[in-house]
Each structure stands twice: as structure tokens, then as C-alpha cells.
Structure 1
Amino acid sequence: MKFRKEFDSIGSINVPKDKYWGASTQRSKKYFDIGEFLVRPILIKSIAIIKKAAAKVHINEKQILPKVSKAIIKASDEIISGKLNDHFPLKVWQTGSGTQTNMNVNEVIANRAIEILGGKKGTKKPVHPNDHVNKSQSTNDVFPTAMHIAIAIESKKKLLPSLELLNKELKRKVSQFKNIVKVGRTHLQDATPLSLGQEFSGYQSQIEDCIFRIKNALKEIHFLAQGGTAVGTGINSKRGFDKKIIKEIKKITKIPFKPTKNKFSALAAHDEIVNFSGTLNTTAVSLMKIANDIRFLGSGPRAGYGELILPANEPGSSIMPGKVNPTQSEAVTMVCVKVIGNHNGITMAGSHGHFELNVFKPLIAHNILQSIDLLADSTKNFSMYCVRGLKADKNKIQEYLNNSLMLVTALAPYIGYDNSAKIAKKALKNNTTLKEEALKSGLINEKDYNLIVNPKKMIYPA
């Protein structure tokens, strides 16, 4: 491998000749070689959006030479498009402000811009990573702004469409299953009947509410820290720079970003992200319940509940032929556990904003973006490869309903709670039907029993 010399305030260092990063990134590769997770491309892209927006403001205000600003914009666009993904080698676990990642982007843009202008990489002329690319900025406002941009982009592009798809598929099942009356279950024991459509309406309502919560929480994410620079005062930036750069970011992303009302809070705390993560946590809790219910209702086929027939997407076992497993539900529930764990991490990290800066930013960014990614992908797959293909085993459902002892609840207003309980217990003990024992009791005749104990009439108020 061939190298070139790059330098920073520490001194000179060898950098791979074919890479655009510089001295700061090269040092970080050595000193923060921790784990396997790289900084996510969407976060790099979001930082590049900030650099592009800053260059546009600087060219408009004649703070940087037009040719330098245009080269910075072009290099930023190449990062945004993913063309330069191979030039971002840093791991998540680095300094808590994310300085190494911000400098990685600064250096790549600077060296690519130098190349565009016909210069030599590593010279910092005519484009300097700090003086030009990072002008009017600090990692301390760039990184939190990039986190918000990345969250907003990924939520709009991936998360919300996936949840909307699940909501749509559940609505279809509500309609398909509306006339199938089944045994309800509370405490895992038989309860009064409801329709399978009503049961699924509960799931659909949960997802609909999760979408509403996420959209509400996103409104806070739209407030950006940019312009606060080092500690929130805006030092080394011009008055009004915050509004101007965020206006450019808004144009680039087509997302309604606006300046935060308090930059000190935006640098030192990440309450908006903690709150947003809370909505993902709630979504994971909802999905855990839904996925578990579906896999339990699909258990069997001969020794489980068996009320639902799950789609057979792939062989379920390497040893047991013909087995179909609830694989999509299992994948979703694992994702839910991970998202709940990520939220705990974000909660702890968010609580450690000491004085003017929270120094858990890379962890927060990694966790929240991973949660968005996992929830988006798993709900999309769950919608397409599980919920969409679910069928009701009407014979099994009817069999359970016919044998249910909790239909006796309908008799209670007519013959009393205690008498009804005696009838149910006798039917269970004698392994007979509820009707047999009710008629034997002499408390009700067959005509009245048939009129009162009608499951279809028991799924709504009288």
C-alpha cells in the first residue's frame, strides 16, 4: 500500500494514498479501534448535508471564495450520493462529541475539493478542513444537528411507511375476520366471545396510535442545534447564520427543520431524542404483544391453539419434516427486545449531559438509528410475509366456541351469578356441554337458553 504524509496540530502521519481522509481520521483509526460497528452512512450523509448548507451560506455572504465553496458543495454531494462511502472507516466508539467523525467528513470533503480544483491531497490548499469546510461550525453543534437530520430522514423514508403498511394489512384482517366469532381469553383462560376481527382491531389500533406518537415526537426532532458552535453561544459564526444554514438544510432535505429555541440545551442535552426513542420503545412493546399473540394463536397444528394458519414461507426445522414455524413473529420479537434495550441505553446516555455538552452522542446516534432501521425492516417483513397471508381456521375456532364454558356469562343476568357458576363447574367436572347442565338444572328451558346463549349476540352490548 502506498502512503502520503498528512499533518495536523499533533504532527505528521502516514495516510493511505488512495483515501481522502486525513491525519485526524488516521489517528482515530488507531486510537478508537473498538468493536465492529462503523458510523452509519446516514449520519455521514447528514453531516455532509450540513457542510453543503454551510458552503452555500458562505458563498452567498462572500465569506469563502466561490471556487472553494463550489468545490465543497460538489464533494459534499458525492458523499450524500454514497459515492465516497469507502472513505469513512471510523467506529461508533470514539470521543463523546463525535469530533473524529466530524473531522473525517471535513477531511474527505477538503481533499476531494482540493482534487476537484487540481491541487494535491494532504496540502490543505486551497481547501482547509477546518478553516473552510468546518467554517462557522463546531462538532458540538454539527453532530446533534446531524443526528436530528438522520432521524427525520430515516423516519420519513423507512419507519413510517413500514408502520403504515402494517396498519393497512391489519385493517384488512379486521374486515376479513369481522364475522368470525371466537373464544376470548383473559389470564390465558377461556373468557366471553368476541370476533377475530375485534381482536385484530385492537392490534390495528395499537399500531395506529404508535404512528401518531412517532409523528408527534418528530416535530421536536425538526428543531436543530446548528449555529450554537462550541457551547451554544455561536462563537466564530456570524449573526443570523443559524437561520440561514437551517434554511439551506430545509431546502436540501425537504423536511421542515427550524432553529432550536435554546442552543445550550440542544448541545448539553438530547431530550428530544430520548423522547423520540420513547415512542420507538412503545412501538416495540406494542409489536411484542401483537407478534406474540399471532404466533400463539397459530401454534399447533394439532397440539396448540391453532386458530390462525400461518403462511409457510420456509421449512421450519432441519430435523422435523413438514414443520412450519412462526419465524416472522420470532424475528419481530427479537427486534423488539433490541429496541427496548437501545432505549435504555439512550435514556442513560441522555442523562449524562454534563455542563455544556453531552458526551454520549455517538452512542445515542447509533442506538436510535439502529432502532429505526430494525423496526422499519421487521415491520415491513412482518406485514408482507406474515399478516398479509394469515388465515383463520374456522373449524377449530367453532369447536372451541361450542365447548366454551364462559358462554355461561350470558345466563348470569337471568339465573344469577352463583347458579351460573354451578352450571359451568358441573359441565367441566362431568365433561358435558354447558347446555346439558343448564337444562338439567331446571333454571332455564331450551327455548330461552338458545335465545340467550347466542355467541353472535355476545360480542356487543345488549
Structure 2
Amino acid sequence: MTSDSAAYRVEKDSMGERQIPASAYYGIQTLRAVENFPISGLRPLATYVDACVLVKKATAIANRELGCLPEDISHAIVKAADEILAGRFRDQFVVDVYQAGAGTSHHMNVNEVLANRALEILGASKGDYSRISPNDHVNYGQSTNDVIPTAIRIGGLLALERSLYPALSNAIAALDNQAETFKTVVRSGRTHLQDAVPVRLGENFRAWAQILSEHLIRIETASGDLTLLGLGGSAAGTGLNTHPDYRHRVAQILAALIDQPLRSAPHLMAAMQSMAPFVAVSGALRNLAQDCVKLSHDLRLLDSGPKTGFKEIQLPPVQPGSSIMPGKYNPVMAEMTSMVCFQVMGYDSAIALAAQAGQLELNVMMPLIAYNLIHSIEILGNTLAALTQRCLKGIQANRDRCYDYAEGSLALVTALNPHIGYLKAAAIAKESLETGKSLRQIVTEQGLMDPEALAQVLDLEKMSQMPDGH
């Protein structure tokens, strides 16, 4: 009903009455949550809102088909859901990420926005819950306890498809392209940050591409568990207040909506209680993040200089690097990548702690898991997209610098082992370091090998050739 002031309407819940801004599509339970949780200022991620709204759309369709929801109400809820999915009313999802256990506050925020918009679609007033109720209609046959773990699954799948998979695939392609470009560039390998035998710069890039390809497979494998839904379990996994066919039909509808092979879990209680699928995906993301840190650090090291470092490659300069040193350019895209990856690792630790914190029929830490998991996927995807476009694609090789380091490396003496023995080779390396003479010069002066044989043994092209012919 409407209050005396045109700026407000009055809504009632089990705790009493409150004034709600007349323009608001959220309702009384959302208002209480906003008041209770002024914690971070972080609002739900857009992808998570999409996931929740998709669940509500699917449930409205399924319950209409099964005769549990009037057609006009179902159609109004579905239309409201489609409007939100198209980008409208996003400012109405206002509950802080850190909120009531299990996500009841955000869940009711979604229910209220959908109910109030559906009321408008039917020509009724916002807050007229006798016509369409957030609880009795939008939430028919559902509970926070089965909706939220389902929404985390849907949100994770959406984020992977929209953000991470395309970005990771593009990064792999960019690295493979650079591997081909640099396939003839010989550089000195380094182990323990000390001279090692020669390698090809192209193979460094090919190795990075292979590493990321393997991570893509791991993440895809882990995400398979997200397709098993506990939706239909209702409050505790027993399916109380749901139609017998609801659990399977709603899974079919959701599968069609997001084009994923979703199906109802074999045991709804298990699917609602265990956060293991989210831990598995998060762990795969952490694993990817760790290797992305290694990649970003390698890029920074190879680009170090320009006068006092390796400078074997040139990363694209994208912005001035110093507020005081003119002409300085820093490897900022690689630096940013490491920072994001550290955050993802932190999120993974929080997810692991939250996942073990459930009791009996419910894990109340799901809001934290929802935010951290989806955010990890999206920031990793955004990071890889930016790194690829503004760094990986524009890397250039300093071919002369690479070759000079390779030719001057004491580790070339390794190739002499089969010909003069390990101890003699070590002595030659020591003499080269002390005198500044090249390995070739010392071996020739001491008559240990004839020049033609020595040239074949110390052929950098041959030494750096991969065994599979790359």
C-alpha cells in the first residue's frame, strides 16, 4: 500500500512495516539487509545477478508448465527477468557482498525486484504482493538453500564462457604466433639465474603456450561438476513443496537458456551441501594464476634493462614509467598480471576456508564463495585479454643481444663433455672466466679438438634444436 508521502510506499514483513522509496523495485527484506550490512560497498557481480535471474526465469517457466504457477504471473516474471538480463534495473541489486549467511538477503533482493517489475507489467502497483509475491510466486518451490548453489554454478559457467575461455585461448594463440616468429632466435638458457645451455626464444614462447593449454583443459575438466544442479532440493534437499517433475524440468530449461549440459544431481542434498565443485574450479584457477605469475616474471626479466639488464626482448611500451625519470618505460602489463594472480590465489584460500565451514544441511558461507569464484574467473579473463592485446602480441626480440649472450655463455662447455670429459671441460670454463678468452679459443690453443670438429660441437643452432624438430 502507499504511504501518505508520495515518495514512499509501505511494505510489511514478519517483523513489521517499513517505508520503501516509491521508485525502488526492491522491497522490505532488501532494505533491512542494506541497513544490516554496510560492510564493503561491493554489490553483486553482474554475472551473478544474471545467474540468479536465469534461475528465476527457468523456475517460472517450469512451474507454469507443471501447473504450479498461473500463466499470467509466470509470463510477467519471465518478461521481468528478460528485461533484467537485457541490462535494465541493475541499480536495484543493492545488498553488500558480505551479508546474511547462505545469501538469503541477495536472494530476496532478486525475488523482490522481479515481483515488483512483474506487478508493473500486469498493471498493478509495486508492493502489491497479494497479486504477485516475492515469496509465494517468484520463489515458488524454491529456497535460498538450493537457488544460491545453483546460481554459483550458473555464474561460474557464464563467466568461464564469456571471459576466461576466450581470453585464455587468445593468449595461447598469441604465444604460438610469437613462437613461430622467434623460432630461429638462439638465446642463452638460464638455470638458477646462471648461464645454461642455449635454447630458442621461440621454444620459450611455445612452452608458455603449452602450459596455458594444459591449464585450459584442467579448468574445463573441473568445471564439469558445475553442471550438476541441486535445484529442486528446496530447503534441505528433500524437495519439499515442489512438483515431482520439477527438478528435472527446471534443469532442462536452464540448460537450454545457457547452452550447457545441465542436469539434476543424483542426490540433491549432496549437491546443496558440498562446495567441492567450487573448490575444484577455484583450485584450477589458482593453478593457472601461479603459472601466469611465472610467465609475467619471465617477461619482466627478459625485458630488464635497457642498459643494465638482459634486454633480450622488448615488451611494448604502453605508458610512461616514472614520475621523475624521463624516458623510462616499465613492464606494466606483466606487473598488473602478477597482482591479479596474487588476488586470485587469495580468493582461492578464502573459498577453501568457506567451503569447509558448512554445518549439517547448509553452508552459510556461500555469498563469499559466489563473489570470490566468479570474480576470480572474470579478473583472470580480463587480465589475460589485456596482457595478450597490449603485451604478448607486440613483443619483439633483440636478436643480436640474444645471440651474443648465447655465444658467450660458459655453459656451452657442456657440449664438450663427451669429447674431453667433465673435469677438463670444467677447467676450461674456469679459465675462460678468469682470462676472458672464449671457450673456442682455449680449446683450440690447447689442441684438445680440431677446429672443424669444435665448430660442429659448438654449433648453437644444433645445440638449441628441440628433439621433436621444432
Range into which the TM-score falls when normalised by the shorter chain: over 0.9
- The answer for the alignment partner of 2:429 in structure 1 is 424
1:151 aligns with 2:174: no
| Residue 461 (structure 1) shift | 7.1
1:98 aligns with 103
Cα pair distance change 1:221/1:461, threshold 3 Å? closer
Q: Give the number of aligned pairs.
A: 462
In 1, the alpha carbon distance for the partners of 2:437 and 2:363 equals 67
For 2:196, the equivalent position in structure 1 comes to 191
How far 1:258 sits from its partner (Å)?
A: 1.0
Instruction: Structure 2: state its 5+ residue gaps.
Output: 1-5
The residue number in structure 1 matching 2:407 is 402
Cα distance 1:218–1:455, how it changes in 2: closer, same or farther (>3 A)? same
Equivalent position to 1:339, from 341, 344, 347: 344
Structure 1 match to 2:443:
438
Cα distance in 1 for residues equivalent to 2:151 and 2:422: 63
Residue in structure 2 matched with residue 453 of structure 1 by the alignment: 458
Deviations 1:391-422 (A, max 9, x none): 10011111111211111111100100000000
**Counterparts of 2:95 and 2:355, CA distance in 1:** 23
- Listed one character per residue, the Cα deviations across residues 370-410 of structure 1 (whole Å, up to 9, x for unaligned) are 11111011100111111100010011111111211111111
> What SS class does the counterpart of residue 5 from structure 1 fall into?
strand
Q: Which residue of the other structure, out of 13, 31, 34, is the alignment partner of 2:18?
A: 13
Which residue of structure 2 aligns with residue 72 of structure 1?
77
From 149, 160, 172, give the equivalent of 1:167: 172
Tell me whether 1:390 sits opposite 2:395 in the alignment. yes
Residues 66 and 243 of structure 2 are in contact (CA less than 8 Å); yes or no, is this contact kept in structure 1?
no
Residue 239 of structure 1 deviates from its aligned partner by 0.9
2:54 pairs, out of 49, 54, 78, with 49
Match of 2:3 in 1: none
Whole-angstrom distance in 1 between the partners of 2:80 and 2:323: 50
Residue 282 of structure 2 corresponds to which residue in structure 1? 277
In the superposition, the TM-score normalised over structure 2's length comes to 0.96
**Are the aligned partners of 2:407 and 2:460 in contact in 1 as well (CA < 8 Å)?**
no
**Contact 1:423–1:441 (8 Å) recurs in 2:** no
1-structure distance, mates of 2:68, 2:200: 68
> What residue number does 1:3 align with?
8
CA distance in 2, matches of 1:441, 1:408: 15
The reply to whether residue 249 of structure 1 matches residue 254 of structure 2 is: yes
Q: Deviations over 1:109-139 (max 9, x none)?
A: 1111112112222120210111111001000
* Contact 1:88–1:104 (Cα < 8 Å) also in 2: yes
Instruction: Identify which of 22, 30, 51 aligns with 2:27.
Output: 22
SS where residue 456 of structure 1 aligns? Answer: helix
Aligned equivalent of 2:120: 115
Q: How much identity, in percent, do the aligned residues show?
A: 37
SS of match in other structure, 1:451: helix
| The one of 351, 361, 366 aligned to 1:361 | 366
The answer to whether the 8 A contact 2:157-2:223 is kept is: yes
Equivalents in 1 of 2:400, 2:17: separation in Å? 77
* Conserved? CA contact 2:200–2:465, under 8 Å: no
Asked if 1:201 corresponds to 2:206, the answer is yes
* 1:194 alignment partner, SS class: strand
Q: Aligned residue for 1:217?
A: 222
Q: Distance in 2 between matches of 1:370 and 1:194?
A: 38
Deviation at residue 439 of structure 1 after TM alignment: 2.0
The 3 A distance-change label for structure 1 pair 239 and 294 is same
Q: Which amino acid aligns with 2:463?
A: M
- Give the alignment partner of residue 89 of structure 1, picking from 79, 85, 94: 94
User: What are structure 1's unaligned runs of at least 5 residues?
Assistant: none
Question: 2: distance between equivalents of 1:45 and 1:405?
Answer: 59
Q: Secondary structure at the match of 1:322?
A: coil
1:6–1:122 Cα contact (<8 Å) kept:
yes
Quote the Cα distance in structure 2 between the aligned partners of 1:121 and 1:450: 86
How far apart are residue 259 of structure 1 and its match? 1.0
How far, CA to CA, are the matches of 1:85 and 1:457 in structure 2? 61
Match of 1:182 in 2: 187
State the 1:158 CA deviation: 1.1
SS of aligned partner of 2:266: coil
CA distance in 1, matches of 2:130, 2:257: 28
Shift of 1:41: 1.9
**C-alpha RMSD of the superposition:** 1.2
Q: Distance in 2 between matches of 1:359 and 1:279?
A: 23
What SS does structure 2 have at the residue aligned with 1:183? Answer: strand
- Matched residue, 2:325: 320
CA distance in 2, matches of 1:121, 1:381: 43
1:183–1:194: 8 Å Cα contact kept in structure 2?
Answer: yes
SS for the counterpart of 2:101 is coil
Find the aligned partners of 1:460 and 1:69 in 2 and give their Cα distance: 66
- The answer as to whether partners of 2:63 and 2:246 remain within 8 angstroms in 1 is no
Q: Are 1:48 and 1:76, in contact at CA under 8 Å, matched by a contact in 2? A: yes
Query: How many angstroms does 1:77 deviate by?
Result: 1.2
The answer (yes or no) to whether the contact 1:250–1:257 under 8 Å persists in 2 is yes
User: 1:256-311 deviations in whole A, cap 9, x for unaligned?
Assistant: 21111222122211100100011100110111111110111011111000000111
From 32, 52, 61, the equivalent of 2:37 is 32
Pair 1:375 & 2:411 matched: no
Secondary structure at 2:102's aligned position in 1? Answer: coil
Q: Note if contact 1:119-1:125 (Cα within 8 Å) is conserved in structure 2.
A: no
Contact 2:320 2:327 in 1 (8 A): yes
